Amino acid sequence: MRNYKFRLYPTVSQEDVLVNNINVCRWVYNKFIDYTKKGTVSQYDLQDYLIELKQQESWLYNYHSKMLQMVCVQMSGSQKALKSLKENGKKTGSLRFARYGEYRTFIYNQSGYKLENGKLTLSKIGDIKIKQHRIIQGKIKQVIITKTKSGKWYCSVTCELDKTQPPIINFKKVVGIDVGIKNFAYDSDGSVTPNPLNLKKMLKPLARIQRKISRRQIGSNNRKKAIKFYQIIHERITNKRKDFHHKLSTTYARKYDVAVVEKLQLTNMVKNPKLSRSIMDSSWGTFLQKLEYKCKLYVEVEPRGTTIDCSRCGNKVPKSLAVRIHRCDKCNLVIDRDYNASINILHKVIPSERRKSTPVEISKRSMTQEAHSKDG
């Protein structure tokens, strides 16, 4: 299975129709909430109840039947989630009615959709302009239409990949990647990708709008406007970050067959308050997820020793986070600490590479210059 997300550009009248479909799903969902007040009901019971509802409310026939059936699936999913929470000793109430604006999606499953020539055709709705920036692979199984809080429309497409031959992996095309705060990624071939720090740059405007929101009267139109603006900026940051993750992971997946990375230990790092903002901003986890599904082979190794060990001779060179350069007294290797780490990460999977790969040493002068500019 593979997922794609595309932006939709409905016309004004189409937007009304989409909102209407969401509201119909919400209406059915809320009917289900009412129906399940007595206790848990199975998905089949819900489907029977849906047929009953349709007989009472014949206008429901104007909507794609699979879409309404997916509300049954969703409802039974919510019930299961609630049940497992209860079983794990969590305090839970009952499922709440979905209010206007809380419910923002509807699903077309298995049938009723077509995606071609920059158009998404939905049965009982029509052709909607779509920005398809990627060619999809496999057969479309499901389409989820979502309205974001700021009012944009997106379409998530789930595809089932053909069960063809497994890919042929060239193990010589292998790279070790170290992810970090100073450098978002440093690889064993010496390529550096600096951290874009999108959020940091946008933090000021975000804080400004937040202050604006708090000054506005609750319920006022100005406050609503400010909230919407806040959501737009927030979405913009998320999109920028996603875009960056996609581009970088695609670059790696095209260049290499095998990617070796460290298992992330975010829990330890977030404890350091100075680091947490940068960590949230870099969000390596989501990057690595993308890398994982794009690469032919993705390997996670234990992080033990990767920053301390000398990648050339194995000598232990302990260093604090502030020390950006790895200096080995034994073999005189002087390289960036992240570079050293990425080679060690690679060695964990391919130890024989140790003798073959001699990291390119950077002259001490340029190294210190670089270190200064980075720290500044």
Positions marked active-site: 178, 262, 338
* Parallel/antiparallel/unpaired status of strands 183-187 and 174-179: antiparallel
Tell me which stretch binds Zn ion (CB under 5 A): 171-179, 271-279, 315-323, 336-344.
315-323
**Using the rule CB under 5 A, is 358 a contact of Zn ion?**
no
Choose, by CB under 5 A, the member of 1, 266, 280, 313 that binds Zn ion. Answer: 313
Neighbours of 323 (CB within 10 A): 13
**Which of 128, 253, 333, 346 contacts Zn ion by CB under 5 A?**
333
Half-sphere exposure of 352 (CA within 13 A, CB side): 3
Beta bridge partners of 8: 130, 153
Q: Phi and psi (nearest 5°) for 329?
A: -75, -25
How far is it, in rounded angstroms, from Cα 357 to Cα 102? Answer: 55
Q: Does 312 interact with Zn ion (rule: CB under 5 A)? A: yes
28 burial type by CB count under 10 A (0-12 exposed, 13-18 middle, 19+ buried): buried
Residue 348 interacting with Zn ion (CB under 5 A): no
Binding status of residue 330 toward Zn ion by CB under 5 A: yes
Among residues 126 and 314, whose Cβ is nearest to Zn ion?
314
Residue 335 contacts Zn ion per CB under 5 A: no
Query: Scanning the structure block, which residue is given the tokens 């071609």?
Result: 116
Site string for Zn ion, 40-69 (x = CB under 5 A): ------------------------------
Quick one: which H or E segment has residue 370? helix 364-375
Question: Nearer Cβ to Zn ion, position 158 or 344?
Answer: 344
Q: Tell me which of 8, 71, 325, 328 binds Zn ion, using CB under 5 A.
A: 328
Please answer whether residues 74 and 26 qualify as being in contact, where contact means their C-beta atoms are separated by less than 8 angstroms. Answer: no
Q: Which of 315, 327, 334, 367 binds Zn ion (CB under 5 A)?
A: 315
Among 196, 295, 210, which Cα is nearest to 243's?
A: 196
At closest approach, how far in Å is the CB of 347 from Zn ion?
13
Point out which residues bind Zn ion (CB under 5 A).
310, 312-313, 315, 328, 330-331, 333
